[in-house]
Amino acid sequence: MVYRVLLLILASGCASAPVGAQTASDDAAIGVWPWLVGNIDADIPTIVQTASGAGLDTIYIHLWRTTGVEAGTLHMVDETGTFPSSWGTIQSDVTLTSLIAQAHAAHLQVVGVVNCFLNGGPLPGYVAHETRLLQVVDHLLHTVDASGDPVYALDGIALDRVRYYSGTSNPHQVVTAFVQQVKDLCGLVPLHAFIPANLWHIDGPPYNGSFRTYAEAMGLLQGQYGHRWEDLASVLDVALPMAYVAESGLYGNNTGLMQSYLQTVASYHRLAEANAGVTVRLLPAVRAWTDAGQTTTAASLQACIQGASLGGADGFMTFRYYTALGQGSWWNAISAGANPGPAHPRAALAATSAAGGSITLDATASSSLAFGPSTLEARFDLDDDGTADTPWSTSRMWTFAAAGSSPFLVAVEVRDGAGHRSVRKRVVTPAAATLTLAGGFTSASLGSAHSLLLNAGPGAAGHVYVIAASATGTTPGTSLAPGVTVPLVWDAFTDLILLAANGPFLPGFIGNLDGTGWAVATMAIPPGALPAAWAGQNLWFAAAGLDPATGLFSFTSGAASLSVLP
pLDDT tens by residue, 106-122: 999 999 999 999 999 99
pLDDT tens by residue, 205-233: 999 999 999 999 999 999 999 999 999 99
Indicate whether 107 and 130 sit together in one domain: yes
Indicate whether 156 and 74 sit together in one domain: yes
- The mean pLDDT of 560-565, rounded to a whole number, is 96
What is the span of the domain harbouring residue 386?
350-428
Indicate whether 357 and 254 sit together in one domain: no
Indicate whether 419 and 477 sit together in one domain: no
Indicate whether 410 and 497 sit together in one domain: no
Indicate whether 357 and 460 sit together in one domain: no
Indicate whether 225 and 320 sit together in one domain: yes
Classify residue 345: in a domain, yes or no.
no
Classify residue 244: in a domain, yes or no.
yes
- The mean pLDDT of 412-433, rounded to a whole number, is 94
How far apart are the C-alpha atoms of 496 and 517, rounded to whole Å? 26
Indicate whether 380 and 459 sit together in one domain: no
Lowest mean pLDDT among 158-162, 289-293, 306-310, 359-363: 289-293
Phi, psi of 42 (to 5 degrees): -65, -20
SS3 track for 264-292: HHHHHHHHHHHHHCCCCEECCEEECCCCC
Q: Write the CB contacts of 508 (distance below 8 Å, at least 6 apart in sequence).
A: 452, 467, 502, 519, 520, 521, 522
Percent of the chain with pLDDT over 70: 96
Integer-rounded Cα Rg, in Å, for the chain is: 30
pTM: 0.85
How far apart are the C-alpha atoms of 211 and 234, rounded to whole Å? 25
Q: Write the CB contacts of 239 (distance below 8 Å, at least 6 apart in sequence).
A: 192, 193, 195, 229, 232, 233, 269, 280, 281, 282, 283
Among residues 336, 367, 400, the one where a domain terminates is 336
pLDDT at position 52 over 50 = yes
pLDDT at position 6 over 50 = no
Name the maximum alpha-carbon separation found in the chain: 106
Percent of the chain with pLDDT over 90: 89
Lowest mean pLDDT among 12-21, 183-192, 197-206, 427-436: 12-21
- The mean pLDDT of 13-18, rounded to a whole number, is 37
- The mean pLDDT of 423-440, rounded to a whole number, is 92
Classify residue 393: in a domain, yes or no.
yes
* pLDDT, position 22: 56
* pLDDT, position 14: 34
Indicate whether 446 and 405 sit together in one domain: no
Indicate whether 386 and 507 sit together in one domain: no
Indicate whether 38 and 178 sit together in one domain: yes
* pLDDT, position 482: 85
pLDDT at position 2 over 60 = no
CATH number assigned to the domain comprising residue 391: 2.60.40.10
Mean pLDDT, rounded, of the chain? 93
**pLDDT band with cut points at 50, 70 and 90 for residue 565:** very high
* pLDDT, position 15: 37
pLDDT at position 18 over 50 = no
Structural domain total, the chain: 3
Classify residue 343: in a domain, yes or no.
no
CATH number assigned to the domain comprising residue 222: 3.20.20.80
